[in-house]
Amino acid sequence: MSEAALIEAEDVAQRFGDRTIFEHVRFSVMPREIFVILGGSGCGKSTLMRQMIGLLPPTAGRVMVLGHDMHAADADVLTRIGVMFQGGALFGNKTLLENVMLPLEMHTELPREARATLAAVKLGLVGLADAANRQPAEISGGMAKRCAIARALALDPPLLFLDEPAAGLDPITSAGLDKLILDLRAQLGISFVVVSHELTSILTIGDRCIMLDREARGIIATGNPSKLRDESQDPRVQAFFRRSAKVNE
């Protein structure tokens, strides 16, 4: 028997006024999969992710996450997903430990000692155990992203959404984050939806991807990122993977 998909996007569209960002978007994300949404700037990658995490209702179609229509779902579903925003979105007036403890405090009956222990373990998993008592303003961008992943992991969700995890990071830090994502999948069996346009990262971690295109207003390619790079005949896909600039841009 095949496993049920964690995410099903059914003919999803997004328009802002007269402007269509994308339409007829269909895909599914399977358990333990690292699914990458890629494409150039302005193609709607982050918009699609905002639909999946319930921040933006689709103009048409629906997105089912863990069996729930995210637009109509109650808040309980949100405790079963974790989200890392591009800049980390850590709370500046809390320590890293307190940032990770926050979801546990809001959604569980755990005593304070237990919350602190669990949060410390999550920080340990992302390699930030020794920085638990530091403030977000005192850490680097890469550490902030790791901490945001630890916070997203706080409630042990089966599904994590990462928005541009490699953006703004040096290659070594970025590679470290890629390794962390692969380790977490291997160790905890978590599925990831990653929005990215960083080629190295996409090719390292992605099992499957969809490529959005601004002009096509939708998906132009689906498959394994490495295979798409090597085998796709679509000039837009080739241009993306070969980093060729368009003459008119």
Q: Contact residues for another protein (CB under 8 A)?
A: 92-93, 95, 97, 108-111, 113-114, 117-118, 120-125, 129-138, 153, 155-156, 187-188
**Between residues 156 and 231, which has the closer beta carbon with respect to another protein?**
156
**Between residues 129 and 203, which has the closer beta carbon with respect to another protein?**
129
Residue 138 CB, nearest distance to another protein (Å)?
Answer: 7
Residue 117 CB, nearest distance to another protein (Å)?
Answer: 6
Residue 3 CB, nearest distance to another protein (Å)?
Answer: 16
Residue 87 CB, nearest distance to another protein (Å)?
Answer: 12
**Between residues 124 and 171, which has the closer beta carbon with respect to another protein?**
124
Residue 95 CB, nearest distance to another protein (Å)?
Answer: 7
Residue 135 CB, nearest distance to another protein (Å)?
Answer: 7
Residue 4 CB, nearest distance to another protein (Å)?
Answer: 17
Q: Which two tokens stand for residue 19?
A: 């402007």
Q: Which two tokens stand for residue 25?
A: 């978007």
**Between residues 109 and 249, which has the closer beta carbon with respect to another protein?**
109
CA–CA dist 38, 43 (Å, integer): 9
SS (H, E, C) the chain: CCCCCCEEEEEEEEEECCEEEEEEEEEEECCCCEEEEEECCCCCHHHHHHHHCCCCCCCEEEEEECCEECCCCCHHHHCCEEEECCCCCCCCCCCHHHHHHHHHHHHCCCCHHHHHHHHHHHHHHCCCHHHCCCCHHHCCHHHHHHHHHHHHCCCCCCEEEEECCCCCCCHHHHHHHHHHHHHHHHHHCCEEEEEECCHHHHHHHCCEEEEEECCCCEEEEEECHHHHHHHCCCHHHHHHHCCCCCCCC
**Between residues 17 and 92, which has the closer beta carbon with respect to another protein?**
92
**Between residues 74 and 130, which has the closer beta carbon with respect to another protein?**
130
**Between residues 64 and 66, which has the closer beta carbon with respect to another protein?**
66
- Cβ neighbours, 10 Å, residue 127: 15
